[in-house]
Structure 1
Amino acid sequence: MEAPSSQFLIQFPGAFRSPSCMHNEQSKIFVAKNLGNRFPSLIVKKLPRRSLLQFLGFNSVLLNSCPVLAAPMQEMKEPEVIRTQKLGNGVRIQDIVEGEGPEAREGDLVEVNYVCRRSNGYFVHSTVDQFSGESSPIVLPLDEKQIIKGLKDVLIGMKVGGKRRALIPPSVGYINENLSPIPDEFGPRRSLLSHAKEPLIFEVQLLKVL
């Protein structure tokens, strides 16, 4: 049974490339007819555009009545940064949320949550569990003999409820192993100190001024 003239063949590069039968149009038609007889699954019928769209699951009425289905998805946006500042010691600060509670001052005890990452974005340590979302806030003294100076400078001036993101250079970071914040567990502690000589990014939220 011959393939109708309204059908076409799926082409396979390099297939049926015999010198004796591929040099004229007649031989091509002969190969197409025989291929259609022997392998009917390789014959694809030409469908009108409307039928093809319906075959693929598109319904013109649905698209006309629900244009939102054809609209591109909106991208997730980063939290809006209120302001940025660079301190004289090289610390760069972005205010993400401006708090409304009491302001932290030097010498205060503060309760915070934080996430620490390397400058390339890789996670180092956090008081917030990445999977459950549960937090274990820590209390820090705003005293550079007990806390890394860069983070102390970030926290001073913050108001309770505020969030800041900061890039802290190693010169005002973990210049010794006794400075907070540092995890108690051996693994996270070792991971943090192994990156002590590079800039670190802290995202910190001020929960309380004690």
Structure 2
Amino acid sequence: MKRTSILFAFLCAAAGVAQAQDTTQAPAQAQPAASTEQPAPIVPGSAQPGPAAEKLIVIDTKIGKGAEANVGNTVYMHYTGWLYRPLAKNHHGRQFDSSIPRGEPLDFQIGTGRVIKGWDQGIVGMKVGGKRTLIIPADMAYGPKAQPGIPANSALIFDVELMDVK
């Protein structure tokens, strides 16, 4: 016999002995029957919510050189939004909206609640010309209220670019 065959036979025998010892011991308490239900797999880009993002995550992908956005400023932003899917490429699930094809940036005053909380907090400190990725947990997005193309309790991911501050 080769060494690998002997080693394999030894490991199998050892596993059999360990299994036999486990079955001879009485269980301390009755174990509940294992559930046969399997959780639904996460399909990147699907409409089903993925695992929740725990907190707002702000990732600067390009630092701007212009005016800085602060609470009370009106900002002009280009954005693209996706469902957050941790297992998808760059965490981007299905895209649900974008200002880019429309050619007009979104404008809003920071801190007035006109946009979701994740935006009101995630845009502060950006400079004109800057780009960020915002990973927004459901409670800082739309929470339990579904939106067109966005299921209830969905974490979202936005790529944003600050075009102007006034």
- TM-score interval w.r.t. the shorter chain? 0.5 to 0.7
Alignment CA distance shift 1:103-1:176 (3 Å): farther
Residue 126 (structure 1) aligns with = 98
Query: Which one of the candidate residues 159, 178, 182 is aligned to 2:127?
Result: 159
1:124-170 Cα offsets, whole Å, 9 max, x none, are 100012xxxx6221101112522211111111000000000011001
Using the TM superposition, give the Cα deviation of residue 209 of structure 1 relative to its aligned residue in structure 2, in angstroms.
0.3
Q: How far, CA to CA, are the matches of 1:196 and 1:156 in structure 2?
A: 26
- What TM-score results when the alignment is normalised by the length of structure 1? 0.46
Q: How far, CA to CA, are the matches of 1:198 and 1:111 in structure 2?
A: 25
Contact between 1:112 and 1:208, CA under 8 Å: does it hold in 2? yes
Residue 148 (structure 1) aligns with = 116
Q: How far, CA to CA, are the matches of 1:196 and 1:163 in structure 2?
A: 27
1:16-72 Cα offsets, whole Å, 9 max, x none, are xxxxxxxxxxxxxxxxxxxxxxxxxxxxxxxxxxxxxxxxxxxxxxxxxxxxxxxxx
> Match of 2:97, as an amino acid?
H
Q: How far, CA to CA, are the matches of 1:197 and 1:176 in structure 2?
A: 5
Specify every segment of 5 or more residues in structure 1 that has no aligned partner in the other structure, as ranges.
1-88, 178-188
State the identity %.
30
Contact between 2:142 and 2:154, CA under 8 Å: does it hold in 1? no
Q: Pairwise mapping of residues 14-93 of structure 1 onto structure 2 (< 5 A)? A: 90-93=55-58
Give the SS at the match of 2:148.
Answer: helix
> Match of 2:66, as an amino acid?
G
> Match of 1:122, as an amino acid?
R
- What TM-score results when the alignment is normalised by the length of structure 2? 0.58
Residue 198 (structure 1) aligns with = 154
Give the SS at the match of 1:159.
Answer: coil
Alignment CA distance shift 1:196-1:105 (3 Å): farther
Q: How far, CA to CA, are the matches of 2:113 and 2:143 in structure 1?
A: 11
Q: How far, CA to CA, are the matches of 2:143 and 2:116 in structure 1?
A: 8
Q: How far, CA to CA, are the matches of 2:151 and 2:74 in structure 1?
A: 26
Alignment CA distance shift 1:146-1:162 (3 Å): same
Residue 139 (structure 1) aligns with = 107
Contact between 2:56 and 2:135, CA under 8 Å: does it hold in 1? yes
Q: How far, CA to CA, are the matches of 1:148 and 1:170 in structure 2?
A: 10
Specify every segment of 5 or more residues in structure 2 that has no aligned partner in the other structure, as ranges.
1-53, 86-92
Residue 109 (structure 1) aligns with = 74
Q: Which protein has the bigger helix share?
A: 1
